Structure formats: C-alpha cells, structure tokens
Amino acid sequence: MAQARINGIALRGIVSALPVGVEDVADLAGRFGADQAERIATATGIRRRHIAAPGQCMSDLALPAARSLLDGLQWADDSVDILVCVTQTPDHPLPATACLLQHRLGLGKRCAAFDVGLGCSGYVYGLWLAASLLAAMGRGRALLVAGDTTSHTLDRHDRSVAPLFGDAATVTALEWDVTAGTLTVDVGTDGAGAPYLIQPGGAARQPDGPLLFMDGTQVFAFTLREVPKAIAATLAAAGSDIADIDHVVLHQANEMMLKRLGAKIGARPDQVVLAMTDRGNTSSATIPLAMTDALTASMTTGRRRLLLCGFGVGWSWGTALWEAGPVHISQTLLISQEGSVIPAG
C-alpha cells in the first residue's frame, strides 16, 4: 500500500449537489413488488435516491456546486491552480470533464485540469493527488470534483444495483496553508476484484456491452477483508488511535456493512457517520456528501480529526486521516434539470 503524510493542506469548504428527481421504496415496489422493495430497503438502509434526469450529466451538477463554492469563498476564478475531477461517468470519452468544467467556470488558462477514473475510493485518491500537487507547489488553491450519475449506467430492473445507486456531484475547496493540520493517506489496489463490480460495456473493450454488474456478496467480503487493515495502517502511520477520531466517514454503500465495519475497527457508534438513507450509494461523492449532510454544524465550528475511507470498484481502497476545519462553507444543493439551484432542507 502507498502511504503519504502531507502538511499544509486546508479544507476551506465543500458543496454537494443532487438532482431534484427522486426514487423511493414506493417506486421500487412498482418494479420489484412491495415486499421485495421493503426487504431491500431494510437490509441496505437506503429508502430514497436522487436520480439525474435524462441528459443531465455529472458536470451539470458540479457546475452550480463549484460556482456556489467559489462565490461563497470569494475566490477569483483565475485564482484556482488545480481542478481534479473524479468520475466514472464523464460527459464524453474525451475531452476530460475537468477541461469542460474549467471552461464553463471561467477558470484561468494556467489551471491544471484533469480527470481521475475511480469510483468508491476516488474521493480519497483525489484528495491525495490535489494535496500532493499543492504541497509540491508550496502555494495555491485546488478544486476537487467528485461524483457520478451511476443511474445512467444500470438496468432499472436489476434488483442487485437499481435500489442502491443514486446520483450526486461534490466540490471540495483546498488551499495551501502552513498552519493547516496533517493529512495522512494510505491507498491500495487489487485488480483481481474487477469482475465483481464492473460495467463491461461502453468503452473500447465492448462498446455495446452489458450495463453495470455487481456481486454484492463479493463486495461485502472484500470490504471486511481489506478495509479494517487499511484503516489500521493509516492510524498507525499517523500515530493515532480510533478513539482519537471525531468523525469516521466511510463510503456510504450499505448501512449494515458500515455498522459491521465500524464495529470491526473499534469505532463507537457515535463516531460513524450514517447518511445514506435518503441518498443511496453515490460512488465517489458519498464521503463529501455525507459531510455536508451530517457534519456541517461540526465542521463549521472548529478543527476536527476525520477518518475518511472509500472502498469498492477495482478493487480499490483509500483511507485518509485529516485534521481539518473549520470550513467556511458546507452545504447541499438540489439542482433542477434546467440548472436552477435549490438549497436542500
């Protein structure tokens, strides 16, 4: 596993964006039957998911989120040095969605913009990349975009995936600041797990191949096998104990899985954030979305010790321990198909 300790990276704000369209248990009952829909919701803890409209891309959600964040922080558009976009549902095979967002936001031409094609672990990977670049520069600002419109990649009648995945985009503002806390990151990969969570079609190997496939049993087994070890390694590298952590924010995939995982790493129930009931699994967006949904009051009032861990498709996993905050902005927005912004309740 690759590890890094990076000083001087300040978290200035996070804005999450969700499409206004929603599917709930009643909608699933119409496709799978009421009893089956309720059993799935009870097992996963997911009762509602925001679903992008046809033709609504991840960048259409990220754009108003980024604009709200930049305006709220009073950052000039040309002051952003780096734009990292983590997504598995880009607008096009090429150019990179980050390039499209750089132009739509009016960022300066000296801004380095690129995509990272990761899912469940992607937020931690993106955080590591953006932080490493800022540290190498010894100055600057970065926007980390993370999100997916996974609902466009699956069969609505496939009960193994359709009740689980929602759509979202998030934008995180990072800034070089020598007074900021330490970010410790540990990441790993096991590509042998690729067949168990895969969208075979849509790229060069099978342009017209199958839609999203997931073997939930294999995902569960992988998570309990690899993630506790990765979390332990990160805590050891940081010289910390799980009891020292204010908030444990895990990839919001399945409530039962997270409770099992929290117990396995020795976390108290009050440390583990559970924020998937009305969101579902939003891929790389789950960690920052959980933070804007559940931790805004905490994160805007002081510095917090955060344990962030994403895991899944790849197999790929990443854990970060971060002393972060107080943040200036933390909010969740709803975005209409036309792009109108509605503050979430």
Residue 285, domain extent: 1-336
| Per-residue model confidence (pLDDT) at position 342 | 84
User: How many Å apart are CA 125 and CA 309, to the nearest integer?
Assistant: 10
1 has pLDDT over 70:
no
Burial class (CB in 10 A: 0-12, 13-18, 19+), 156: middle
Task: Identify whether 344 is part of a domain.
Answer: no
Given 50, 85, 111, 251, which residue is catalytic?
251
Q: What pLDDT does residue 175 have?
A: 98
Q: Quick check: is 307 in a domain?
A: yes
Domain membership of residue 345 (yes or no) is no
- In this prediction, residue 345 has a pLDDT band, given cuts at 50, 70 and 90, of low
- Out of 50, 111, 254, 281, the active site residue is 281
Average pLDDT over residues 209-221: 94
* Nearest Cα residue to 265 out of 301, 311, 330, 201: 311
Kindly state the tokens that stand for 12. 């200035």
* Helix ranges restricted to H, 45-121: 58-73, 97-105
Distance in angstroms (rounded) separating the CA atoms of residues 178 and 132:
14
* Cα distance between residue 185 and residue 318, in whole Å: 7
pLDDT confidence tier of residue 196, bands split at 50, 70 and 90: very high
281 is catalytic: yes
Residue position matching structure tokens 């994160």:
299
**pTM, to two decimals:** 0.97
Does residue 95 fall inside a structural domain? yes
pLDDT at 184 over 90: yes
Residue 265 lies inside a defined structural domain of this protein: yes
The CATH number of the domain holding residue 318 is: 3.40.47.10
- Which residue among the candidates 99, 120, 254, 309 is catalytic per the annotation? 120
Kindly report, residue by residue over 26-81, the tens digit of the pLDDT: 999 999 999 999 999 999 999 999 999 999 999 999 999 999 999 999 999 999 99
Q: How far apart are CA 141 and CA 121, in angstroms?
A: 22
Question: What digits encode the pLDDT tens for the residues 7-18?
Answer: 999 999 999 999
Residue type, 147: G
- Dump pLDDT digits (tens) for 84-123: 999 999 999 999 999 999 999 999 999 999 999 999 999 9
Over 70: is that where the pLDDT of 145 sits? Answer: yes
* Domain tally, the chain: 1
